[in-house]
Amino acid sequence: MSQSPLDLGTVLARVADTLESRRGADPSTSYVAKLLAKAPDSILKKIGEEATETVMAAKDGETDKIVSETADLWFHCLVMLTHYGLRPEQVLEELARREGLSGLTEKAARGPDGARAQPAQGV
């Protein structure tokens, strides 16, 4: 796999490290510290807004906006993961675990209560 500066896991891990460094930082000088100081509501509100803006951009087919709104959405999800002491590597591991497993097959294999299989544990 490519290890260029745009390697997905590397970029997400680097941003997550920065977000962790903002714990307890001054909210007047850091947007992330401001969000974390009022978590989780502040973060969840932004995720809702950014998800809506992403949907609107996609509906309009505005490709530049789709990219920037998706970046806003991913960023705020990373802040949420930081708040809960989780790492993007855990999400990437879960996606890797699902690779090759059809969504239709996975859905058909769910229990009668519709419960999903447990996600991968650990980092």
- 3 DSSP 8-state letter: -
Nearer to ligand PRT, 32 or 66 (CB): 32
Give Cα 65 to chain centroid, integer Å: 18
Query: Looking only at residues 20 through 49 of this chain, which bind ligand PRT when binding is defined by CB under 6 A?
Result: 22, 30-33
Sign of CA dihedral 34, 46, 76, 94: positive
Nearest distance, CB of residue 98 and ligand PRT, angstroms:
26
- Least Å distance, CB 7 to ligand PRT, is 16
If binding is defined by CB under 6 A, does position 8 make contact with ligand PRT?
A: no
- CA separation for the pair 91, 64 (Å, rounded): 25
- CB of 25 closer than 8 Å to CB of 55: no
Determine the size of the site formed for ligand PRT (CB under 6 A): 9
Residue 75 found at the interface with ligand PRT (CB under 6 A): yes
Token pair 């896991």 is at which residue?
Answer: 9
Residue 10 interacting with ligand PRT (CB under 6 A):
no
